[in-house]
């Protein structure tokens, strides 16, 4: 009923929106999906994204949509959105020192579920800073692996912001991290041109 893959793509796109004006455009686009006549799995994913991201505008959109969705759909949205929203709120509070602490905890205890969940949601820029500034190979590998696990929008935005080529991480990640995982797929237009970040078809699809 709820398109989980679409939800993750939407959250990946949101996490790649670093500027206030980008986030305003994103909110408008997501709101149109919530209010529009779209397939139920996509609408449910959009409503869940609104709940997880949790800005006032998106929470309002989710509340409006709740009047028109079946109880079973709302229950599924709640089951998916509530725990992810809690994780994202905690992840948003982590500065560079907090991310470094979580990376260290993950290195020392790979089975730590709290660190694992938070590291998948913290700001990718802080992960890159930890990777770049660490003198410990294990910490660099862990931070790099977390970058490699991020969605294509976040990875592409990071590379664009740093002005790096697709293989720019080769030296940093030459320690058991598949470089292909950091690559932007060949032929995929991520909309990065002349300083513009938003995907070219941003107005048409949140999957971009």
Question: Lowest-confidence range among 1-10, 117-126, 157-166?
Answer: 157-166
Interhelix angle 96-108/137-149, rounded to 10 degrees, is 100
Between 169 and 37, residue with greater pLDDT: 37
Cα–Cα distances in angstroms (integers) from residue 29 to residues 23, 56, 57, 197, 200, in the given order:
10, 15, 12, 15, 13
Cα–Cα distances in angstroms (integers) from residue 145 to residues 61, 78, 124, in the given order:
35, 30, 11
- Boundaries of every domain in the chain: 4-86, 96-182
Tokens of 168: 């720019």
Nearest to 153 by CA among 194, 193, 189: 189
pTM of full prediction above 0.85: no
Between 162 and 44, residue with greater pLDDT: 44
Q: What is the DSSP letter of 198?
A: S
Between 66 and 201, residue with greater pLDDT: 66
The model's pLDDT over 91-148, given as tens digits with 9 standing for 90+, comes to 999 999 999 999 999 999 999 999 999 999 999 999 999 999 999 999 999 999 999 8
Say how far apart CA 81 and CA 4 lie, in whole Å: 10
């Amino acid at each position: 009923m709820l398109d989980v893959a679409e939800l993750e793509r939407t959250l990946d796109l949101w996490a790649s929106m670093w500027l206030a004006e980008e986030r305003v455009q994103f909110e408008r686009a997501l709101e149109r999906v919530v209010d529009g006549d779209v397939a139920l799995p996509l609408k449910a994913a959009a409503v869940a994204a609104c709940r997880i991201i949790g800005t006032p505008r998106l929470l309002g959109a989710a509340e409006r949509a709740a009047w028109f969705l079946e109880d079973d759909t709302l229950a599924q949205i709640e089951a998916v959105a509530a725990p992810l929203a809690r994780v994202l709120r905690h992840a948003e509070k982590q500065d560079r020192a907090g991310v470094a602490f979580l990376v260290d905890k993950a290195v020392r205890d790979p089975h730590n579920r709290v660190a694992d969940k938070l590291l998948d949601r913290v700001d990718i820029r802080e992960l890159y800073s930890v990777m770049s500034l660490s003198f410990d190979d294990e910490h660099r590998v862990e931070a790099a692996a977390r970058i490699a696990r991020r969605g294509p929008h976040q990875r592409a935005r990071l590379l664009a912001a740093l002005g790096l080529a697709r293989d720019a991480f080769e030296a940093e990640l030459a320690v058991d991290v598949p470089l292909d995982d950091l690559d932007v797929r060949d032929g995929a237009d991520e909309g990065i041109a002349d300083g513009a970040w938003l995907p070219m078809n941003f107005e048409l699809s949140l999957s971009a």
